[in-house]
Structure 1
Amino acid sequence: MTQSEFVNQYLPYARQTEAKTGISAIAILAQAALESGWGKAAPGNMFFGVKDTDGINGNEQLLTTTEYSRRADLKFPHIISVTPIVRNGVKMFRYKVKDYFRKYDSPEECFTDHARFFLKNKRYTEALTVKHNPYLFIDAISKAGYATAPNYSGTLKAVAKTIDNLI
């Protein structure tokens, strides 16, 4: 799927979510694009990498992922490897693991659940004050700790700019 095809196919879901929540469709679609590799990796209609905390009720799937931490003692359902690295002068550990992620019956269900995550979680209160501006929203969710990837905000804003140019 090309970037343009991804935007054409999934922008309607992002716009539906924006209409329901006020969170920028561009920010939502940028996260979906980044987290799923522009739709190449969205098993079970899971575009956002939302973890399933219990792994027992049937709405989960065990998938391989990469996580970053300053700690070398994190727990996951299955650890494949832990590699010490240095990022921006900071010693970290890159984990390749299998962890539980949610799965959905449709893309719309996934987009709605993603928005609820921000609305229900108090650490995103500041981000919700700028939810109409995709770039400020991206900075705010990154600052609140949405992802473990270094430079998540910069990467996500570049994807948002690409989407902006395609619509």
Structure 2
Amino acid sequence: MAAVQMTRDEFIAAIAPYAVADMRNSGVLASITLAQAALESAWGRSAPGNNLFGIKGAGQTQTTKEFVSGQWITIQDGFRVYESWEGSIRDHSRFLTENSRYARAGFFECCKRLDYAGAANALQKAGYATDPTYAQKLTGIIEANGFSKLDKEAAEPMLDKGVANTVIETWIGPAWKKANEAGNEDEKKYMNWLANELRKASGQPLQ
């Protein structure tokens, strides 16, 4: 999924499950992941190479703006490339974890407390972006879209992934196949919904 045209709601629906699942694995707040992705990619409309977070590296060269010495300047720089938005989200958390300056700035301590405002300030303090209003923008996006509820969802105890997949594969999958063979669309939709509820409860992306 590179640069595409979609609404904000469509963008949120596309990546929210990945953000929640990633928070359960990495500890990075889902609200921060969503807000950064929205801000850095203009809600999915500008994500060359599926790079939702503007993480620099090898793979492609892009024109970008940075705030230097009190003014905005335009530069060209290298940025990472991913096969999918899910891959970009996973690498974003890995990037924050592997760069110790974020831990030193208190980012992960704020994440443990579900303190998205503190986490946003820690990102700015650690130099994630040169924009002097970066934390303020992230907090505004989170509050305007109610992203903090996803942090609470991800922090709740979840169903074991193996149990969820066993139920899906042993009972729901065969039931969906039987409904498909019978041409029962309502039953198929119900089975698909049920499987996705189990995936959601076990921190897995929806299908």
TM-score, normalised on structure 1?
0.79
In 2, distance between residues paired with 1:147 and 1:135?
Answer: 16
**Residue 145 of structure 1 corresponds to which residue in structure 2?**
127
**Residue 24 of structure 1 corresponds to which residue in structure 2?**
29
Structure with greater helix percent: 2
Asked whether the 8 Å contact 2:34–2:147 carries over to 1, the reply is: no
Aligned with residue 38 of structure 1, among 39, 43, 62: 43
Bigger Rg, which one: 2
Structure 2 SS opposite 1:130: helix
Give CA deviations for 1:118-164 in whole Å, capped at 9, x if unaligned: 11111111111111322221111111211101211111111111231
Aligned with residue 81 of structure 2, among 103, 110, 116: 103
**Residue 205 of structure 2 corresponds to which residue in structure 1?**
none
Unaligned runs of 5+ in 1: 71-91
Pair 1:67 & 2:47 matched: no
Paired-residue identity, %: 38
In 1, distance between residues paired with 2:144 and 2:54?
Answer: 21
In 2, distance between residues paired with 1:13 and 1:31?
Answer: 14
Unaligned runs of 5+ in 2: 1-5, 150-207
TM-score, normalised on structure 2?
0.64
In 2, distance between residues paired with 1:166 and 1:122?
Answer: 25
In 1, distance between residues paired with 2:31 and 2:148?
Answer: 11
Structure 2 SS opposite 1:40: coil
Q: Which one has more relative contact order, counting CA pairs under 8 Å at least 6 apart? A: 1
Aligned with residue 9 of structure 1, among 10, 14, 39: 14
Q: Could you say if the C-alpha distance between residues 113 and 141 of structure 1 is closer, same or farther in structure 2, counting changes exceeding 3 Å? A: same
Structure with greater strand percent: 1
Quote how far apart the aligned CAs of 1:64 are. Answer: 1.1
